[in-house]
Amino acid sequence: MTANILIVEAPYYPQIADELAKGTIAALEDAGAQYERLEVPGALEIPIAIAMASETHSYDGYIALGCVVRGETSHYDIVAGESARALMGLGTERGLAIGNGILTVDTGEQAMARARVSEKNKGGDAARACLGLISVRQKFGRPAVPQT
């Protein structure tokens, strides 16, 4: 599949972000997709950046990468819930193909197990989800990148 993908990453936890990106990039390269990477400060900024990028009509799909680790306050619930809600809204309301690779975990160890390519490889899963949604959209006759 020839697709142009934007990977939007929040590298708040650099080791986890690097591992997620490694899995994502490997899956995209295996599929023959092209990609660009964009860093944002945190998980809440990921959907905002995707919304902005979608207005350019330059990308077939998007991959959200980040990690939210539960802390001692309710901030975790807000960041985890609102980032997921915003990504889902972009998908359902705008028809964007988005692979959600934002990990929501209790500990750093859980995050690494999910990010590590040799274990759960959630970055690769997010890439495959994005590519799958692009295929679904094409099946229904919608162009991957809207014509302007």
Task: Name the DSSP class of 18.
Answer: H
The verdict on whether 75 is a catalytic residue reads yes
Active-site residue, from 29, 34, 56, 75: 75
**DSSP element (H, E) containing 104:** strand 98-105
Rounded CA separation 34/83 (Å): 25
Place of tokens 């999910």: 114
Rounded CA separation 102/91 (Å): 15
Please give the positions annotated as active site.
75
